[in-house]
Amino acid sequence: MTGRPVGYLRAHGFRGPIWPVNPRATEIAGLPCFPDIASLPGAPDVAIVLLAPDRAEDAVRALAARGCGAAIVLAGGYAEGGPDGAKRQAALRHAAGGMRLLGPNTIGLVNLTDGIVLSATGALEMEGFRAGAVSLVSQSGGILGAVLSRGAAAGMGFAKLIATGNEADLDVADFIDLLVDDDATRVIALYLEGIRRPAAFRAAAARAQAAGKPIVAFKVGRSEAGAQAAISHTGALSGADRLYDALFRQIGAIRAERFSDLLDIPAALATGQRMAGRRVAVLTSTGGAGALLADAFGLAGFDLPPPDAETAATLSALTGEPNVGNPLDLTLAGVKTEIMQGAIAALLDSPRYDALAVVVGSSALAQPRLAADAIAACLVGRDKPVLAFVSPHAPAIGAALQAQGIPAATAPEAAAAILSALAAPAMAPAVQPAPPGPPPGPPPGPPHGPPADLRAGQFDEAESKALFARFGVPAVREAACATPEEAALAARAMGGRVVLKALSRTLAHKSDAGGVRLNLAPGDVAQAGDGIFAAVTQATGAPPDGLLVQEMASGVEVILGLTRDPHLGTAILLGMGGVAAELFGDTALRLLPIDRATAQGMVDELRGAPLLRGFRGRPPADEAALVQAVLDFATMGDALGDRLVTAEINPLFVRAAGQGVRAADGLAVLA
């Protein structure tokens, strides 16, 4: 294994000087060997350290002393292995001083732009890699090998592939930054296990977006259970993976859902083509594969309209078939170059379509170049995306297409994922990169003083709602009372029927403990209050701190919450209330800060949003006030910073249009 990197470096085209260091050898792979780092003829640009942890630290120290630019430490046995390893890793980092460090526990990096491979990955056993425009930053070395070998076999080209390993120093955010400035890189693919510096990551991603370089991210850990925050629904509904969904959405990154997407989508984006709408034509020589594609496209929300009259006439004249549809099946017309080329040109020139997918069927096994040549001939002077779906096992055909810049999918689902990426709103047309705007600032709203007067711990319901009201989210009319008798007086003063609740700084789920009574006449409040005292005492072993009397409220129920993730920061959650958020998972999640458009987007994202908009004869609700409440709650989250543990309004009643929102229940926990 220690011999591999030198061999790979030379096999893949490095022509500069290589200085092996080994006290027990005079020559390695035909190169003169130095006994130690101090003897090197100069300061190396980069060193690859192939020593076990017990000796790597000294080597790194010596390299730093020699003025080396950066060191790559491949060995494992560091922080990934436990506390002892973490200590070793800290010492390694310290030994590097000002020298940059990649790893440890990495497979290294592969630079195909310049023919510099500094890696031990077995994938380098392959030959004939193509330099291309896709770069990969992977937190796993094995995945680097899988992406490189699979991509190369599929005819894809790469610029740089970097495995960051334990990220003792250089991390994913650093390499995104680097790749934004790398002329050879047009698309950045990420394989992520976690993000160490979310702020730096977001800043680097914003630079990539400003530079018009799409990010495609695959994140493992999707099946991890959400934080088991029993105290609030918001915590339970904001699983770690959903936070990453929010993050990727907010930085404009495309999330690769399947592992293969991490290859297919970047390769397609690297062509520079983008899809202006969602209408796609399918051209096939085999009905079944055409149906497969149409099906996958339909599931992904694409339209397959029939050709417009002019295009249909052109296609009929070309094929001799009176009826031409979409998919357009050339089976009966015969799969001939001139027909294929004519059909591709006609479909691309039709104003009815935003992209074209061409099926390469089993007949291609006898005529392997037909489709690729026909497509390539038509691409000249046309700028709509064309992709191929290779239906039989024909890897050489797929690779040839891909090498000509024609995305070639081997699964219908991959073809749909490719089109979805090319059509994603975040993917502004390559010719018009998004202007490099500043990152979103705090949302507008009245200035709020620092929350220094707030105590730590769990707030009771009345305290929680008072806090929310300070930031602009009003509560229902209510009165906090010490005894049932006091509550009865308050209810009479309020007029009308009321809600009576236990007031407590420790009880989280009041209704589960018998601490909530709805729709009470004022005369029944005293007795109900006694009942609540008894029920809560029985359920928890202690009486509540008091009682809360509230007016009965109505409107569309939503849940609005804040939760703080130790890694990614504060997230805001909006969900349809009642049972929808909990049983049907109808929630929208974003990381703070957010702006008004994002708050509106959260409302739009809810499947239950029609309930706010006059669904089946209901009156429209005050959606504008809801959007403002989301913004106000977000402002509170920003102001509380890392003092926030969780905050939640459940339910928040969205009243009829013009009548605002009212928090009917609330909970806040501060650190």
* Residue placing its CB nearer to its own copies in the complex, 165 or 666: 165
Q: How far is the CB of 617 from its own copies (least distance, A)?
A: 5
Q: How far is the CB of 591 from its own copies (least distance, A)?
A: 22
Tokens 């039989």, residue located: 392
Pairing of strands 587-591, 569-576: antiparallel
Structure tokens at 84: 């002892």
- Can you state the percent helix, strand and coil of the chain, rounding each to 5? 40, 20, 40
* Residue placing its CB nearer to its own copies in the complex, 309 or 583: 583
Tokens 């979805």, residue located: 420
Q: How far is the CB of 365 from its own copies (least distance, A)?
A: 4
| CA distances (Å), origin 378, targets 327, 338, 346, 409, 494 | 19, 11, 10, 19, 76
Structure tokens at 181: 């400035």
Give the Cα separation of 448 and 441 in Å (integer): 15
* Residue placing its CB nearer to its own copies in the complex, 310 or 584: 584
Quick check: 453 and 463 in contact, CB under 8 A? no
Q: How far is the CB of 85 from its own copies (least distance, A)?
A: 10
* Residue placing its CB nearer to its own copies in the complex, 44 or 239: 239
| CA distances (Å), origin 669, targets 230, 458, 467 | 12, 4, 11
Q: How far is the CB of 301 from its own copies (least distance, A)?
A: 9
* Residue placing its CB nearer to its own copies in the complex, 411 or 624: 411
Across 431-447, b (16+ Cβ under 10 Å) vs e yields eeeeeeeeeeeebebee
Give the Cα separation of 665 and 234 in Å (integer): 14
DSSP letter string, 517-558: EEEE-GGGHHHHHHHHHHHHHHHHSS--SEEEEEE---SEEE
Residue 322 buriedness (CB in 10 A; 0-12 / 13-18 / 19+):
exposed
Please list, in sequence order, all residues whose beta carbon lies within 8 angstroms of the beta carbon of residue 530, skipping any fewer than 6 positions away.
484
Structure tokens at 149: 């070998």
Q: How far is the CB of 433 from its own copies (least distance, A)?
A: 32
Q: How far is the CB of 411 from its own copies (least distance, A)?
A: 6
* Residue placing its CB nearer to its own copies in the complex, 72 or 296: 296
Please list, in sequence order, all residues whose beta carbon lies within 8 angstroms of the beta carbon of residue 432, skipping any fewer than 6 positions away.
none
> Which residues in 195-246 belong to E strands, given as ranges?
215-219
Please list, in sequence order, all residues whose beta carbon lies within 8 angstroms of the beta carbon of residue 576, skipping any fewer than 6 positions away.
557, 558, 559, 584, 586, 587, 606, 607, 608, 611
Return the H-helix or E-strand segment holding 668: strand 666-670
Instruction: Name beta bridge partners: 219.
Output: 192
* Residue placing its CB nearer to its own copies in the complex, 247 or 304: 304
* Residue placing its CB nearer to its own copies in the complex, 37 or 399: 399
Please list, in sequence order, all residues whose beta carbon lies within 8 angstroms of the beta carbon of residue 657, skipping any fewer than 6 positions away.
619, 620, 621, 622, 623
Sign of the dihedral through C-alpha 543, 549, 554, 558: negative
Residue 473 buriedness (CB in 10 A; 0-12 / 13-18 / 19+):
buried
* Residue placing its CB nearer to its own copies in the complex, 125 or 310: 125
Q: How far is the CB of 66 from its own copies (least distance, A)?
A: 29
* Residue placing its CB nearer to its own copies in the complex, 2 or 26: 2
* Residue placing its CB nearer to its own copies in the complex, 111 or 139: 139
* Residue placing its CB nearer to its own copies in the complex, 67 or 288: 288
Q: How far is the CB of 220 from its own copies (least distance, A)?
A: 5
End-to-end CA distance of the chain: 50
* Residue placing its CB nearer to its own copies in the complex, 379 or 667: 667
Q: How far is the CB of 538 from its own copies (least distance, A)?
A: 14
Q: How far is the CB of 126 from its own copies (least distance, A)?
A: 8
Q: How far is the CB of 17 from its own copies (least distance, A)?
A: 28
Q: How far is the CB of 272 from its own copies (least distance, A)?
A: 26
